[in-house]
Protein backbone atom coordinates (compact mmCIF):
# COMPACT_ATOMS: atom_id res chain seq x y z
CA UNK A 1 0.00 0.00 0.00
CA UNK A 2 1.53 3.25 -1.13
CA UNK A 3 1.09 6.07 1.35
CA UNK A 4 -0.59 9.09 -0.16
CA UNK A 5 0.21 12.55 1.14
CA UNK A 6 -3.18 12.44 2.86
CA UNK A 7 -2.24 9.14 4.59
CA UNK A 8 1.12 10.56 5.66
CA UNK A 9 -0.67 13.57 7.11
CA UNK A 10 -2.98 11.30 9.14
CA UNK A 11 0.05 9.54 10.64
CA UNK A 12 2.02 12.76 11.19
CA UNK A 13 -0.94 14.51 12.82
CA UNK A 14 -1.27 11.60 15.25
CA UNK A 15 2.25 12.26 16.62
CA UNK A 16 2.43 14.80 19.42
CA UNK A 17 5.27 17.34 19.67
CA UNK A 18 6.62 17.95 23.18
CA UNK A 19 8.82 21.05 23.36
CA UNK A 20 11.88 21.08 25.62
CA UNK A 21 11.85 17.35 26.36
CA UNK A 22 14.02 15.72 27.59
CA UNK A 23 15.96 19.00 27.80
CA UNK A 24 15.55 22.60 26.66
CA UNK A 25 15.77 23.11 22.91
CA UNK A 26 14.64 19.58 21.97
CA UNK A 27 11.31 19.06 20.21
CA UNK A 28 10.39 15.48 21.16
CA UNK A 29 8.25 13.42 18.78
CA UNK A 30 5.85 11.53 21.07
CA UNK A 31 4.58 8.40 19.32
CA UNK A 32 2.29 7.36 22.17
CA UNK A 33 -0.46 9.38 20.52
CA UNK A 34 0.11 7.45 17.27
CA UNK A 35 -0.10 4.16 19.16
CA UNK A 36 -3.41 4.98 20.80
CA UNK A 37 -4.93 6.25 17.55
CA UNK A 38 -6.19 2.93 16.18
CA UNK A 39 -6.84 4.27 12.68
CA UNK A 40 -3.42 5.93 12.27
CA UNK A 41 -1.58 2.93 13.75
CA UNK A 42 -3.45 0.49 11.51
CA UNK A 43 -2.76 2.66 8.47
CA UNK A 44 0.96 2.66 9.33
CA UNK A 45 1.17 -1.06 10.03
CA UNK A 46 -0.80 -1.93 6.86
CA UNK A 47 1.66 0.18 4.88
CA UNK A 48 4.71 -1.48 6.43
CA UNK A 49 3.24 -4.95 5.94
CA UNK A 50 2.56 -4.26 2.27
CA UNK A 51 6.06 -2.81 1.78
CA UNK A 52 7.90 -5.76 3.35
CA UNK A 53 5.69 -8.85 2.97
CA UNK A 54 7.32 -10.09 -0.24
CA UNK A 55 10.94 -9.20 0.60
CA UNK A 56 11.81 -12.65 2.04
CA UNK A 57 12.83 -11.12 5.36
CA UNK A 58 13.78 -13.71 7.98
CA UNK A 59 13.91 -11.38 10.99
CA UNK A 60 12.86 -7.91 12.02
CA UNK A 61 15.28 -6.40 14.54
CA UNK A 62 13.96 -3.53 16.65
CA UNK A 63 15.89 -1.08 18.79
CA UNK A 64 14.90 -0.63 22.43
CA UNK A 65 12.28 0.29 23.16
CA UNK A 66 10.11 1.93 20.55
CA UNK A 67 11.50 -0.25 17.79
CA UNK A 68 9.91 -3.17 19.64
CA UNK A 69 6.48 -1.58 19.35
CA UNK A 70 6.60 -1.51 15.55
CA UNK A 71 8.97 -4.42 14.95
CA UNK A 72 7.20 -7.25 16.76
CA UNK A 73 3.78 -6.79 15.10
CA UNK A 74 5.44 -6.22 11.72
CA UNK A 75 7.45 -9.43 12.10
CA UNK A 76 4.23 -11.30 12.85
CA UNK A 77 2.46 -9.77 9.86
CA UNK A 78 5.22 -10.71 7.39
CA UNK A 79 5.98 -14.15 8.83
CA UNK A 80 9.40 -13.28 10.28
CA UNK A 81 11.01 -13.67 13.68
CA UNK A 82 11.61 -10.68 15.94
CA UNK A 83 14.98 -9.82 17.51
CA UNK A 84 15.27 -7.18 20.24
CA UNK A 85 18.32 -4.91 20.28
CA UNK A 86 18.69 -3.62 23.81
CA UNK A 87 20.68 -1.39 26.11
CA UNK A 88 23.46 -3.19 28.06
CA UNK A 89 22.70 -5.85 30.66
CA UNK A 90 19.03 -6.29 29.68
CA UNK A 91 19.30 -9.59 27.79
CA UNK A 92 19.62 -12.86 29.76
CA UNK A 93 21.86 -14.90 27.42
CA UNK A 94 25.32 -14.33 25.93
CA UNK A 95 25.39 -11.09 23.95
CA UNK A 96 27.46 -9.18 21.46
CA UNK A 97 27.75 -5.42 21.85
CA UNK A 98 28.42 -2.32 19.80
CA UNK A 99 29.33 1.09 21.19
CA UNK A 100 28.44 4.33 19.46
CA UNK A 101 29.23 7.99 19.99
CA UNK A 102 26.90 10.54 21.45
CA UNK A 103 27.38 14.29 21.59
CA UNK A 104 29.11 13.82 24.95
CA UNK A 105 30.33 10.29 25.61
CA UNK A 106 29.01 7.03 24.23
CA UNK A 107 26.23 4.51 24.50
CA UNK A 108 25.98 0.83 23.68
CA UNK A 109 23.51 -1.70 22.30
CA UNK A 110 23.47 -5.48 22.66
CA UNK A 111 21.90 -8.46 20.98
CA UNK A 112 21.91 -12.18 21.73
CA UNK A 113 24.85 -13.85 20.02
CA UNK A 114 22.53 -16.51 18.59
CA UNK A 115 19.69 -14.17 17.59
CA UNK A 116 19.60 -15.53 14.03
CA UNK A 117 20.12 -19.22 14.80
CA UNK A 118 18.63 -21.88 12.58
CA UNK A 119 18.63 -19.66 9.48
CA UNK A 120 21.45 -19.74 6.94
CA UNK A 121 22.38 -16.29 5.57
CA UNK A 122 19.49 -14.52 7.29
CA UNK A 123 18.02 -11.32 5.87
CA UNK A 124 17.13 -8.75 8.49
CA UNK A 125 15.02 -5.60 8.49
CA UNK A 126 16.06 -3.11 11.18
CA UNK A 127 13.32 -0.85 12.53
CA UNK A 128 13.08 2.04 14.97
CA UNK A 129 10.63 4.82 15.57
CA UNK A 130 12.94 7.72 14.73
CA UNK A 131 16.31 8.47 13.20
CA UNK A 132 18.14 11.61 14.26
CA UNK A 133 21.94 11.38 13.88
CA UNK A 134 21.91 7.64 13.17
CA UNK A 135 24.14 6.44 16.02
CA UNK A 136 21.78 3.77 17.37
CA UNK A 137 20.90 2.58 13.87
CA UNK A 138 24.51 2.28 12.72
CA UNK A 139 25.48 0.38 15.87
CA UNK A 140 22.46 -1.92 15.50
CA UNK A 141 23.22 -2.63 11.84
CA UNK A 142 26.81 -3.42 12.84
CA UNK A 143 25.52 -5.90 15.45
CA UNK A 144 23.34 -7.58 12.84
CA UNK A 145 26.39 -8.04 10.60
CA UNK A 146 28.54 -9.30 13.52
CA UNK A 147 25.90 -11.97 14.13
CA UNK A 148 26.24 -13.21 10.55
CA UNK A 149 23.16 -11.64 8.99
CA UNK A 150 22.58 -9.14 6.22
CA UNK A 151 20.66 -5.92 6.88
CA UNK A 152 18.39 -5.55 3.87
CA UNK A 153 16.98 -2.21 4.98
CA UNK A 154 16.68 0.17 7.91
CA UNK A 155 13.15 1.47 8.44
CA UNK A 156 12.13 4.47 10.52
CA UNK A 157 8.70 5.89 11.20
CA UNK A 158 10.13 9.42 11.49
CA UNK A 159 13.31 10.89 10.02
CA UNK A 160 14.59 14.21 11.35
CA UNK A 161 15.89 15.26 7.95
CA UNK A 162 17.95 18.24 9.13
CA UNK A 163 20.22 15.95 11.19
CA UNK A 164 21.06 13.72 8.17
CA UNK A 165 21.13 10.48 10.16
CA UNK A 166 19.79 8.50 7.20
CA UNK A 167 22.64 9.87 5.07
CA UNK A 168 25.11 8.41 7.57
CA UNK A 169 23.89 4.85 6.97
CA UNK A 170 25.82 3.31 4.08
CA UNK A 171 25.47 -0.38 4.99
CA UNK A 172 21.94 -0.83 3.64
CA UNK A 173 18.97 0.92 2.11
CA UNK A 174 17.07 3.35 4.35
CA UNK A 175 13.33 3.94 4.31
CA UNK A 176 11.57 6.61 6.35
CA UNK A 177 7.79 6.74 6.44
CA UNK A 178 7.79 10.43 7.41
CA UNK A 179 10.50 13.04 6.92
CA UNK A 180 10.20 16.07 9.15
Assess contact for 108 and 98: CB atoms under 8 A.
yes
Q: d(Cα 166, Cα 140) in Å, to the nearest integer?
A: 14
Q: What's the average model confidence in pLDDT over 164-180?
A: 96
Strand, helix or coil for residue 46:
helix
Beta bridge partners of 17: 29
**Residue-level pLDDT at 37:** 98
Q: d(Cα 8, Cα 61) in Å, to the nearest integer?
A: 24
Q: d(Cα 154, Cα 173) in Å, to the nearest integer?
A: 6
**Residue-level pLDDT at 118:** 85
Decide yes or no: CATH 3.40.50.2020 for domain 55-179: yes
DSSP for residue 157: E
Q: What is the pLDDT of residues 47-106, one digit of tens each?
A: 999 999 999 999 999 999 999 999 999 999 999 999 999 999 999 999 999 999 876 778
Q: What is the pLDDT of residues 126-162, one digit of tens each?
A: 999 999 999 999 999 999 999 999 999 999 999 999 9
DSSP for residue 90: -
Q: What's the average model confidence in pLDDT over 113-122?
A: 94
Q: d(Cα 23, Cα 11) in Å, to the nearest integer?
A: 25
Neighbours of 102 (CB within 10 A): 11
Q: d(Cα 137, Cα 100) in Å, to the nearest integer?
A: 10
Domain ranges of the chain: 55-179
Q: What is the pLDDT of residues 8-41, one digit of tens each?
A: 999 999 999 999 998 899 899 999 999 999 999 9
**Residue-level pLDDT at 111:** 98
Question: Using only C-alpha atoms, what is the Rg of the chain?
Answer: 16
Among candidates 132, 97, 121, which has minimal Cα distance to 111? 97
Q: d(Cα 29, Cα 145) in Å, to the nearest integer?
A: 29
pTM for this model (two decimals):
0.95
**Residue-level pLDDT at 3:** 92
Q: What's the average model confidence in pLDDT over 106-128?
A: 95
Q: d(Cα 109, Cα 96) in Å, to the nearest integer?
A: 9
Amino acid sequence: MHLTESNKKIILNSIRDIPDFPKPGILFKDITTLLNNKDAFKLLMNHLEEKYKNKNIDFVAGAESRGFIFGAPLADRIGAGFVPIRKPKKLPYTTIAEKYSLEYGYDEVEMHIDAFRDIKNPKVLFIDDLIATGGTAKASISLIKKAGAASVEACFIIELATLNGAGNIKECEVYSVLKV
